[in-house]
Amino acid sequence: MKLLMTEERERAIAIGLITDRTRRQQGEEYLDELVLLADTAGAVVVRKVFQERNRINSATFIGSGKALEVGRLVEDEKIDLVVFDDDLSPVQVRNLEKVIKCKIIDRSGLILDIFASRAKTKEAMTQVELAQLQYLLPRLTRQWTHLSKQYGGVGTKGPGEQQIETDRRAIRTRISRLKEKLEHISREREVQRKGRKEMIRVAMVGYTNAGKSTLLRLLSGADVLVEDRLFATLDTTVRAVTLGPAKTILLSDTVGFIRKLPPHLIASFRSTLAETAEADILLHVVDVSHLSFEEHIAVVNDTLHELNAQGKPTIYVFNKIDKLADRSLLHGLSKEYSPAVFISAERGLNISSLKQELLTLAAHDSSEQTISIKQSDYGTIAKLHEIAEIIGKEYENNSVIVRFRVSQKNMDRLKKLLGKRFTVAGQD
């Protein structure tokens, strides 16, 4: 990990909440993750503050006493930035800004910042900008002077109501433009995906830093970016992987997930995540050496739900076993998560068992079918060419008997399409 010198980095305070529901230890783990996020964004956390509260304070989130205390810390310790682990309402930010005289940012803001600095492709940059503007819009208030500077507006007092209205309009126009642009990109992507319909598509998913890109690199030999930092990958890469003779699948690697990923971000990354949503099989990659790996699994499963990608045949890939001092816990995991494999993508350990599991699932997922269609039914014949791999055709009277290989998903689509006309001529 490339660290900047401490003097060049912004000095930050990280604030976490401990409520009845979140135990102290869990609160500390959450805050450790926030420290890592702050580090990724280029700040160094010099102080961690916990607020024990059972109810969140609607005016200041942490309560006015605590806010004053943080305000004093900021002055005494020359702090540039206060980061909250939870999302703040625009009102809370405004109230906090009265007593804490430095930049205040919440978890979503921080994640958006990291995504913005990481985005390299046109698609990722458009998606991040859209999410950022949607996050910004309700937060545009008198206190907020950034846009007014950028747009050459009022200087010291913050923008007037009129200026804010102009800014809001500008943002809304930009949001519509970005949405149109994304619509266009997503149509291009759809055409690309259609061209790959006949191969089995496997998508890797997982918490950020679990080792997805390392695994893609190992399996496909592709030169993809691997880094020990959060959100190294922000795009989707698809590569062909050969599992055995005449058995090639398409494997995709995509953006990692994290606890409390801002909803705007998930929504605007839909075109990047479409490969995941449409995959036939998922590889859920888990960093099993991480203390909170089970919570990570739950977060990833929840995010899959939001993407409508839950319930697909899934292999749990427990990665980084080389980092485990004690591997006895793996036995229990293989009972709880099935099918599961235990690998090290970095050291290349147990990769053959992963390939074997994939072959098994892939064989389950597709089957060879034969159906008889009227020769005049061009629509169905065309559809069949589109969603299945045609193996052979025989003509008989007015009918054509087609043998094809099809995934379970496309077979279901076909059955729906044909309805009563669906007659299986034979099947193996």
Ligand X SMILES: Nc1nc2c(ncn2[C@@H]2O[C@H](COP(=O)(O)OP(=O)(O)OP(=O)(O)O)[C@@H](O)[C@H]2O)c(=O)[nH]1
Considering beta carbons, is residue 300 or 384 the nearer one to Mg ion?
Answer: 300
User: What does 319 interact with, of Mg ion, ligand X, none (CB < 5 to 8 A by kind)?
Assistant: ligand X
Residue 322 is a binding residue for ligand X (CB under 6 A): yes
Considering beta carbons, is residue 213 or 252 the nearer one to Mg ion?
Answer: 213
Residue 203 is a binding residue for ligand X (CB under 6 A): no
Residue 232 is a binding residue for Mg ion (CB under 5 A): yes
Considering beta carbons, is residue 51 or 237 the nearer one to ligand X?
Answer: 237
Among 61, 144, 231, 342, binds ligand X (CB under 6 A): 231
Q: Which stretch binds ligand X (CB under 6 A): 149-157, 187-195, 223-231, 299-307?
A: 223-231
Q: How far is the CB of 250 from ligand X (least distance, A)?
A: 18
User: What does 418 interact with, of ligand X, Mg ion, none (CB < 5 to 8 A by kind)?
Assistant: none
Among 319, 369, 380, 410, binds ligand X (CB under 6 A): 319
Residue 345 is a binding residue for ligand X (CB under 6 A): yes
Considering beta carbons, is residue 322 or 368 the nearer one to ligand X?
Answer: 322
User: What does 355 interact with, of Mg ion, ligand X, none (CB < 5 to 8 A by kind)?
Assistant: none
* H, E, C per residue of the chain: CCCCCHHHCEEEEEEEEECCCCCHHHHHHHHHHHHHHHHHHCEEEEEEEEEECCCCECCCECCHHHHHHHHHHHHHCCCCEEEECCCCCHHHHHHHHHHCCCEEEEHHHHHHHHHHHHCCCHHHHHHHHHHHHHHHHHHCCCCCCHHHHHCCCCCCCCCCHHHHHHHHHHHHHHHHHHHHHHHHHHHHHHHHHHCCCCCEEEEEEEECCCCHHHHHHHHHCCCCCCCCCCCCCCCCEEEEEEEECCEEEEEEECCCECCCCCHHHHHHCHHHHHHHHCCCEEEEEEECCCCCHHHHHHHHHHHHHHCCCCCCCEEEEEECHHHCCCCCHHHHHHHHCCCEEECECCCCECHHHHHHHHHHHHHHHEEEEEEEEECCCHHHHHHHHHHCEEEEEEEECCEEEEEEEEEHHHHHHHHHHHHHHCCEEEEC
Contacts with Mg ion by CB under 5 A: the residue count is 3
Hey, which residues between 174 and 213 contact Mg ion (CB under 5 A)?
213
- Binding residues for Mg ion, rule: CB under 5 A, are 213, 232-233
- Binding residues for ligand X, rule: CB under 6 A, are 206, 208-214, 226-228, 230-233, 256, 319-320, 322-323, 344-346
